[in-house]
Amino acid sequence: MTIQTPIKRKPTAGRLQPFFAIGYLFAAFSLPALSHAADNPGAHEHGHARLQIAVENNSIDLIFTSPAYNLAGFEHEARSDEEKNRLAEISQWLDTTPLVNTEAADCRITGATVELGGQSGKEDHDHHDHGGDHEESTHREYDVSQQLECDDTGARMTLTSALMEKFGNLEELAVEWVSPSGQGSARLARTNRAFTVSK
């Protein structure tokens, strides 16, 4: 089952088109990502998620990828009304809350897509035990893209993320960014949720 909630808004004039910026983002990180994938095929680690960001002037395009367990507390198909409501609440939050924001909290979403996809199958995964007997393993992930506009912050933009505050199972967020000034990365944790990008 895939949950998809696109927001249709007109792109801001003079702004890098979102697909171009996201393509730039993928190109900038494709070699490290391919190298990591070769070392750890099919990586799906609970507690960890990835956030990729492209910054141009005051515009941010981002892609957030996380195992569903980090956000929902489960990865199987929603069975109860409570689980269905939980997934709907998560989708709504991801759709309407900027996943990064400035210290002044002045970033606005101009476009967003939230997808929950994955695969199920009878497999043996000893790393995937959360206290229950599993005959069938499930690996589901959230893939979220957002386009943000922020007020002018000057040459450097300090950003924070509320993801770990909102979702208790998310322990570490690997952040990678590109901008006209270069690229960088950071590992965020509950006690350290800020990073600075030079525009």
In this structure, the number of other CB atoms found within 10 A of the CB of residue 72 comes to: 21
Tally of domains in the chain: 1
Q: Give me the domain span that covers residue 78.
A: 18-37+46-123+138-198
Tell me how far apart the alpha carbons of residues 161 and 84 are, in angstroms, rounded to a whole number.
25
Residue 117 within any structural domain of the chain: yes
Q: Tell me: the pLDDT tens digits for 178-192?
A: 999 999 999 999 888
Assess if residue 7 is contained within a domain. Answer: no
Query: Any idea which of 6-10, 67-71, 134-138 has the lowest mean pLDDT?
Result: 6-10
**If pLDDT is split at 50, 70 and 90, which confidence band does 23 have?**
low
Rounded to two decimals, what is the model's pTM? 0.74
In a domain, 130, yes or no: no
54-63, 84-93, 117-126: range with lowest mean pLDDT? 117-126
pLDDT per residue as tens digits for the range 145-175? 999 999 987 889 999 999 999 999 999 999 9
